[in-house]
Amino acid sequence: MKNLFLYFIIASFFCVSCSNNNDADPIPIEPNPQVNSVKLATNGTFGSILTDSKGVSLYFFSLDTKDNSQCLDGCLNVWPVFYSEKITVDAGLELTDFKTIDRTDGSKQTTYKGWPLYYYSGDNAAGNTNGDAFNNVWYIAKPDYSLMYVQSQLLGHDGKNYLDDYTEGDGNSFYITDISGRTLYTFINDTKDTNNFTNPDFSNDAVWPVAEIDLDNLPSVLEASDFGSIDVFGKTQITYRGWPLYYFGQDSKRGDNKGISFPAPGIWPIANVDTPMAPEAQSVESNIKVANNTTFGNILTDSDGNSLYFFSLDTKGTSECTGGCLNVWPVFYIEDVMLNDGLDAADFTTIDRSDGSKQTAYKGWPLYYYANDTASGDTNGDAFNNVWYIAKPDYSLMYGRSQLVGHDGKNYLGDYTEGDGATSYITDSAGNTLYIFINDTKDTNSYTNPDFSNDGVWPIAQINMELIPSILAAEDFGSIDVFGKTQITYKGWPLYYFGQDSARGDNKGVSFPAPGVWPIANVDTPVAQ
């Protein structure tokens, strides 16, 4: 037995000695891993949620719209505050999103993205989420909400308190905000998936900005299927139940809802779960239509399908058809233009005629009937005397006829001698005169500098060519590359504008720098060589 005991002592000595001489590092002792004061947990129902260091769920209170806590006194027995003096966070959370507020009872509370954080006393174990949707005002705290559902007093821009029926009164109303607490509104004049407020140039967007929000997760009271998006002149606006959603430009602070009374109560309602579905746009009976004609394609007609026409002498946007001309070419006039055929109402205007009557114009061209069209769909007036053309919504060019008046104030004829008399020539669809340059050659621009330093004097004509009046032949037109820009050509001649043609119908370039150096283009123009 003594020998066996001695053996163990010797063996232990050599083992320790051997260990001390071993080149391997000793096995490190793991320190206690750091537990962050706010953790990011994955919940089977809600996905990512915020918890404390022990995994106990945290909550938002939807009445906390203004960066302070509305849970006071007895409320705190059910919803104790969460506060950590030193915040540390799990990966996936941003420390800058957490702040500390001073409560009215003198204690402190931690907030996330402006929302004070709470526990729920009915959660008996880590991972419980029993408080979500409690009275539709308490929601599990998530890091990725796109919107919140809040309850607060509506206080208009006029300083008056309102109820959710937009009558004056004291009481909280439910409504949707973005995650920062900014109120979202609808517009009573909108229709399903249609923004009827925002201007194409967004000139009124500062008053009611479109709500551009990347929709991710929502409070459980809201249904994801109620939300969508629409394109508004290149911006993506979110919708709720078909209603486009907006902010109010004068809501300067978190929790503001001033827009409910601007410009009058109820015109810009808040959005909530009681918001009805947006109405479908009512079909409007057009009094100007687009008809498909087998010869001309799309043409403009009145509500009965009677064809409308342009007069090529109306280059200045006024009517040159007077007196007996009107017996053959009666004017077309509609007091209130109504459209549903893809036409733009902004393209239609009303002009005052010299005889005291009114006339409807399209893109500046007065509109007429032709007396010898006896049935809807007739187009007998097109190319009449080479000055009347069927009205189309998609002309790229027009064929005008007018007195040539040079930049020197003198009248010119088509041979560039002085004289009175109308000359036919090509304009763009807006009535701007097109010219050629006598020093150019076939498909070659000999004028424009590589840096376009002289383009202000004679700008190159860049026009997307589609349809043209019947007097012009499509094969006469082409295009060339001019230092990266595409210039259209006619019979091989590059086409230009004149920089001093400031008004519709001007053709001052015919005498600059001398008559005939920059001719107008028309069907008598010879082919460039």
pLDDT digits (tens, 9 = 90+) for 461-501: 999 998 999 999 999 999 999 999 999 999 999 999 999 99
Domain total for the chain? Answer: 4
Q: Are residues 134 and 202 in the same domain?
A: no
Residue 6 is predicted with a pLDDT of 39
Same domain (yes/no): 415, 466: yes
Q: Give the pLDDT confidence of 204-262 residue by residue, as tens digits.
A: 999 999 999 999 899 999 999 999 999 999 999 999 999 999 999 999 999 999 999 99
175 with 247, same domain?
A: yes
**Pairing status of strand 115-116 against strand 172-178:** unpaired
| CA-CA-CA-CA torsion sign (70, 72, 78, 79) | positive
Which residue, among 523, 315, 313, 518, has the nearest Cα to 432 in the 3D structure?
A: 315
Name the one residue in this structure whose structure tokens are 């009872």.
105
In terms of domains, do 168 and 187 share one? yes
256 neighbors 203 (Cβ within 8 angstroms): no
| Domain's final residue, options 218, 251, 282 | 282
Shared domain for 152 and 134, answered yes or no, is no
pLDDT class of 510 with cuts at 50, 70, 90: very high
Is 150 in the same domain as 139? no
- 429, 403: one domain: yes
Size of the chain in residues: 529
527 φ, ψ to 5°? -70, 135
The residue from 363, 394, 425 where one domain ends is 394
- 152 and 137, same domain (yes or no): no
Residue 278 falls inside a structural domain:
yes
The amino acid present at 529, given as its one-letter code, is: Q
**Does the pLDDT of residue 41 top 70, yes or no?**
yes
CA distances from 518 to 56, 275, 397, 399, 433 (A): 83, 64, 19, 18, 11
Query: Residue 212: which domain range?
Result: 145-282
Rounded CA-CA distance 192/240 in Å is: 10
What span, in angstroms and rounded, lies between the C-alpha atoms of 18 and 235?
Answer: 75
Average pLDDT, integer, range 389-414: 96
Q: Is residue 43 part of a domain?
A: yes
Domain co-membership, 525 together with 406: yes
What pLDDT, in 10s, does the model give residues 143-171? Answer: 999 999 999 999 999 999 999 999 999 99
pLDDT in tens, 61-86: 999 998 899 999 999 999 999 999 99
Residues 376 and 463 in one domain: no
The pTM of this model reads 0.53
Whole-number Å distance between alpha carbons of 119 and 462: 66
> Domain for residue 27, yes or no?
no
Do 168 and 274 fall within a single domain? yes
- Model pLDDT, residue 4: 37
Q: Would the pLDDT of 457 be above 90?
A: yes
Q: Is the pLDDT of residue 1 over 50?
A: no
pLDDT of residue 191: 95
Say whether both 132 and 190 belong to one domain.
Answer: no
Residue 247 falls inside a structural domain = yes
pLDDT (0 to 100) of residue 271: 97
**3 domain-assigned:** no
Cis amide prior to 513 (ω within 30 degrees) = yes
Asked if residue 22 belongs to a domain, the reply is no
d(CA 155, CA 517): 69
Name the pLDDT band for 281 (thresholds 50, 70, 90): confident
What does the pLDDT look like over 3-27, one tens digit per residue?
433 333 334 433 443 344 444 455 4
Residue 512 placed within a domain: yes
> What's the pLDDT tens digit per position in 91-115?
999 999 999 999 999 999 999 999 9
What per-residue confidence (pLDDT) applies to 8? 38
pLDDT above 90 covers a percentage of the chain that reads 88
Tell me, yes or no, whether 429 lies in a domain: yes
Out of 14-28, 183-197, 308-322, 440-454, which region has the weakest mean confidence (pLDDT)?
A: 14-28
| Domain edge (last residue) among 144, 160, 183 | 144
